[in-house]
A and B are shown apart, each in its own frame.
Chain A
């Protein structure tokens, strides 16, 4: 009988240690736990759910390949989000059509204003405004506003100085304040 408990009952550190030794079940549990966060990071970066899932899968595969060199000094979540951000940035560079804002037109607008819920429209407008940011600024904004990473963690994640994190974040926020001005005045 195996002395190991079920993967779902194990701590993250135990799962990481086992996955580093080649245990695919343990890694599968890590994937299950971090799937949503990783997909959402990729989704905020590229704006398409299918592409985000592809990016998330690619990120987990890269994580598996580099897991032996992972040291749990920083949380696994940050590490895998870092990979996901870089994968999404790579995808955006390779497939520029996926960031074509025109191609990401509001789906709800086609249904007419009556059928549109105001909150949903606003959410879509926000999503579009975020996608219109340059990828480098968008990555910083996503990690800060949606993932709650500190400036230091963002700097480590993207491999940039803290000063650059601040300037990119200020730039992104100023752009968003301009593009979403009408919503901010109402609030």
Chain B
């Protein structure tokens, strides 16, 4: 004889068991008179509970409806700014996704510029990447025309983007922005969840 299934009889009686557990209870019931008697008592209890009278002498339906109607508070139409705010609130994750994509794009472009500058500092190789109209003009000459030497610009860019901090400012800044965006996203999720719980009473 397998172990009694007393703990599962209620769920079995309510039709809430499925799969292996259901088969286990059914198999057990086929052989166990004790559990069958328990199940019968559960069924008898359910029948007995239905004998409890429903509420009597209630207010007539139409009067009840009228009473509720009189107590209903005014529900003003929401102003346009509030609706706009709500739509904006719904779009926050999209905005954060856009911000994330923007940050990634900025750092990819900045990285490419940095690599190009490093290469040009080493030998003006970038000049070959210029458009056909400027084929005859090296990158150094292009910058010289505007009064600044390519070496000066490159050094400034390198200082700004690549050569400071343990990981380099670019990587650090990227990480900080990603963490910030992540935090904002999870804060939004938490607020959304709290609001949802509140609305469900």
A residues near B, CB below 8 A?
22, 24, 27-28, 31-32, 35-36, 39-40, 43-44, 49, 52-53, 56-57, 60-62, 64-66, 68-69, 82-83, 86, 119-120, 122-124, 126-127, 130, 141, 144-146, 150-151, 159, 166, 169-170, 173, 176-177, 180, 183-184, 187
Supply 16 A–B pairs (Cβ within 8 Å), ascending by A.
A32-B64, A44-B52, A53-B59, A57-B67, A61-B71, A62-B201, A66-B199, A69-B199, A82-B201, A130-B49, A144-B14, A170-B7, A173-B45, A176-B45, A180-B45, A184-B44
Contacts known (A24-B72, A57-B67, A61-B71); A40 close to B55, Cβ less than 8 A: yes
Residue in A22, A32, A43 whose CB lies within 8 Å of B77: A22
Per-position 1/0 for B55-72, Cβ under 8 A of A? 111110110110111011
- Starting from the known contacts A43-B55, A151-B14, A169-B14, 6 additional A-B residue pairs (CB-CB under 8 Å) come to A61-B71, A170-B10, A173-B10, A173-B42, A176-B45, A187-B47
Cβ-closest chain B residue relative to A184:
B44
- Report the number of A-B residue pairs with Cβ-Cβ less than 8 Å: 112
Is the CB–CB distance between A86 and B51 below 8 Å?
A: no
Q: How many residues of B contact A (CB 8 A)?
A: 38
With both chains docked as a complex, state the minimum distance between the C-beta of B10 and any C-beta of chain A, in angstroms: 5
Decide: B10 and A66 in contact? CB cutoff 8 A: no
A124 to B56, CA, bound (A): 13
Q: Which residues of A contact B160 (CB under 8 A)?
A: none
User: Are B61 and A35 neighbours in the complex by a CB distance under 8 Å?
Assistant: yes
Beta-carbon contacts of B14-26 to A below 8 Å, as 1s and 0s?
A: 1010000000000
Are A127 and B52 in contact (CB-based, < 8 A)?
yes
Contacts of A36 in B (CB 8 A): 58
- Known contacts A40-B54, A151-B16; is A180 also within 8 Å of B48 by CB? yes
| Chain B residue nearest in CB terms to A29 | B65
- Are A39 and B73 interface neighbours, CB within 8 A? no
B41 within 8 A of A: yes
Q: Which residues of A contact B166 (CB under 8 A)?
A: none
